[in-house]
A and B are shown apart, each in its own frame.
Chain A
Amino acid sequence: MYSEKVMEHFKHPHNLKEIHNADAIGKVGNPTCGDIMWCYIKVGKNEKGEEIIEDIGVKTFGCVAAIATSSMITDLAKGKTLDEAMRLTRDNVKDALDGLPPIKVHCSNLAADALHDAIKNYREKKKV
């Protein structure tokens, strides 16, 4: 059912952790459908002075696809500017994993949403 890449990320996921002094947290998902993802980000600056994802962690309650997409989103987002990270889509996640079964594609959406939610929360906090 799942690609080798998905199974690899599921068995040895990257950055599935909480970040205790995170700059922001994004929380998505619902218990009925069975996937919940919390995305923690630490924001730093690169040499150009742009805000980047310095560190990222995700905690996930969910199936193989949920855990694999969570791991992949952290790989894709780490080191990117916030704008670049906001432009990451479910297709980026799905393609990086060599595809997902059709009924599991929503998990890749959730991973991207969790990241975007974190960035949005960070930016809202800064405005205040």
Chain B
Amino acid sequence: MRVYMDHAATTAVDKEVVEAMKPYFSEKFGNASSLHQFGQEAKEALENSRETVAKLINAEPMEIIFTSGGTESDNMAIKEIAWINKEKGNHIITTRIEHHAVENTCRFLEKQGFKVTYLNVDKFGLVNPKDVEKAITKETILISVMHANNEIGTMEPIEEIGKICREKKVIFHTDAVQTVGKIPIDVKKMNVDLLSASSHKLYGPKGVGFLYIRQGIKMQPLLHGGNHEFCLRSGTENIAGIVGFAKACELAKRDMKKRAEYEKRLADKIVKEILQKIPESWLNGHPEKRLPGNVNFRFKCIEGESMLIHLDDKGIAASTGSACSTKDLKPSHVLLAIGLSPVDAHGSLRISLGKDNTEEEVDYLIEVLPEIVSSLRKVSPLWKGD
């Protein structure tokens, strides 16, 4: 059995999305900037896609800039807002649990002389809007708080934070890579000025994303060149990818409620059964305010990579916050931020379900995981139980 439970990392492209993309490789392959009919049919596809995507988040089409993905969108939003506004101030507020695309962009800007406040989170990974308010100074030019955390699934109070930013007239960006297409987003209600999204998290192709930029927010390009995307993001448009992304957005909008309810039901079953079957196990992240398909456990006295490879051996794909599984051998900064010790962070397991996971697959996981944890505990010097 091959069971994929790592949807927060990436998703399989939906068959309908593949079909929608096919014409744009070898039939309608024109450059959207060309004046002839080949170009114009590509342009039409581009603008139709823009409209579809905008509808998903209640934005205007011209507020959507297509990029190569979430990382580029985060980089563009944070760097450009910082550089455009540096005469007004040099202070940026973000959190300790952001994705590396936000965190490392902020650290890069720190080297250039910007001051960055990394707000703490509580033990569930929640940001307190009052902390955001307290951190704002006369020098603050940007606040960036992710919509939901990719590791522990906790959903942040973006609307409240956005309201504070609006009142204090500070530009507000949210990395919504994990939420676009999964939970309802209304950029007008949420008071956001910039929002990052990525196609491959919602059954679209890799290599495509967007940055939502509210009308009126001054922006300049990260990528200079042929002045594509309203002179904000140069580069011949990846029409096939964009069309695929738009299709994925359309399907996500149509099926959002159904998918969320289904994934939550399966996730709740996993949480209930595993916490019951495996001693000294806990859920990381908020029990209710979390992404529908996200489950993140910690198991005392064992290490995550070992757990993952045993699961992989059984055909199950998941992920971990253990240091041993990373390139820099550091435990997950998110798990450390919610107060876990390095040892406990090592014993974490993230299961992220998708629309195609079945009850049978969930039962299989519930069957094999306890035995894996038990066998690793038997050989661990830290485990004193049976």
The chain A residues found within 8 Å of chain B, CB to CB, are 7, 10-11, 13, 16-17, 27, 31-38, 59-67, 103-104
A45 to B228, CA, bound (A): 80
The chain B residue sitting closest to A13, CB to CB, is: B379
Q: Report whether A63 and B305 are in contact in the complex, using a CB–CB cutoff of 8 Å.
A: yes
CB-CB < 8 A to A61: which residues of B? 301-303, 343, 346, 380-382
The chain A residue sitting closest to B320, CB to CB, is: A63
A7, A16, A31, A38: the one within 8 Å of B343 (CB):
A31
The chain A residue sitting closest to B310, CB to CB, is: A11
The chain A residue sitting closest to B322, CB to CB, is: A34
Q: Report whether B379 and A34 are in contact in the complex, using a CB–CB cutoff of 8 Å.
A: no
Q: A16-B379, A63-B325 are in contact. List 17 more A-B contacts (CB 8 A).
A: A10-B309, A34-B322, A34-B331, A35-B324, A36-B381, A59-B381, A61-B301, A61-B346, A61-B382, A62-B303, A62-B324, A63-B306, A63-B322, A64-B305, A64-B306, A64-B324, A66-B306
Majority SS at the chain A contact face: mixed
CB-CB < 8 A to A33: which residues of B? 323, 329
A16 to B306, CA, bound (A): 14
The chain B residues found within 8 Å of chain A, CB to CB, are 301-306, 309-310, 313, 322-325, 327, 329, 331, 341-343, 346, 378-382
A35 to B304, CA, bound (A): 11
29 contacts between A and B (CB under 8 A): A7-B309, A10-B309, A11-B310, A16-B379, A17-B379, A27-B381, A32-B331, A33-B323, A34-B322, A34-B323, A34-B329, A34-B343, A34-B346, A36-B381, A59-B379, A59-B380, A59-B381, A60-B380, A61-B302, A61-B380, A62-B306, A62-B324, A63-B322, A63-B325, A65-B324, A66-B303, A67-B379, A103-B327, A103-B329
A97 to B137, CA, bound (A): 57
What is the total of A-B residue contacts with beta carbons within 8 Å? 71
Q: Report whether B341 and A31 are in contact in the complex, using a CB–CB cutoff of 8 Å.
A: yes
A124 to B195, CA, bound (A): 63
Q: Report whether A67 and B342 are in contact in the complex, using a CB–CB cutoff of 8 Å.
A: no
Please give the distance in Å from B157's CB to the nearest CB on chain A: 32
Q: Which of B313, B346, B381 has the most CB of A within 10 A?
A: B381
CB-CB < 8 A to B325: which residues of A? 63
A63 to B253, CA, bound (A): 41
Please give the distance in Å from B64's CB to the nearest CB on chain A: 39
CB-CB < 8 A to B346: which residues of A? 31, 34, 61
CB-CB < 8 A to A16: which residues of B? 378-379
A11 to B305, CA, bound (A): 13
CB-CB < 8 A to B329: which residues of A? 33-34, 103
The list of the 8 closest CB pairs from A to B, nearest first, reads: A63-B324, A63-B305, A59-B381, A31-B343, A16-B379, A38-B381, A34-B323, A32-B342
A11, A27, A63, A67: the one within 8 Å of B313 (CB):
A11
B310, B342, B379: the one within 8 Å of A60 (CB):
B379
B304, B306, B343: the one within 8 Å of A67 (CB):
B306
The chain B residue sitting closest to A37, CB to CB, is: B381
A10 and B306 in contact, given A61-B380, A63-B324 (Cβ under 8 angstroms): yes
CB-CB < 8 A to A103: which residues of B? 327, 329
A65 to B329, CA, bound (A): 13
Please give the distance in Å from B330's CB to the nearest CB on chain A: 9
Please give the distance in Å from A109's CB to the nearest CB on chain B: 14
Please give the distance in Å from A106's CB to the nearest CB on chain B: 8
CB-CB < 8 A to B324: which residues of A? 34-35, 62-66, 104
A60 to B144, CA, bound (A): 41
A53 to B304, CA, bound (A): 32
CB-CB < 8 A to A17: which residues of B? 379
A33 to B379, CA, bound (A): 18
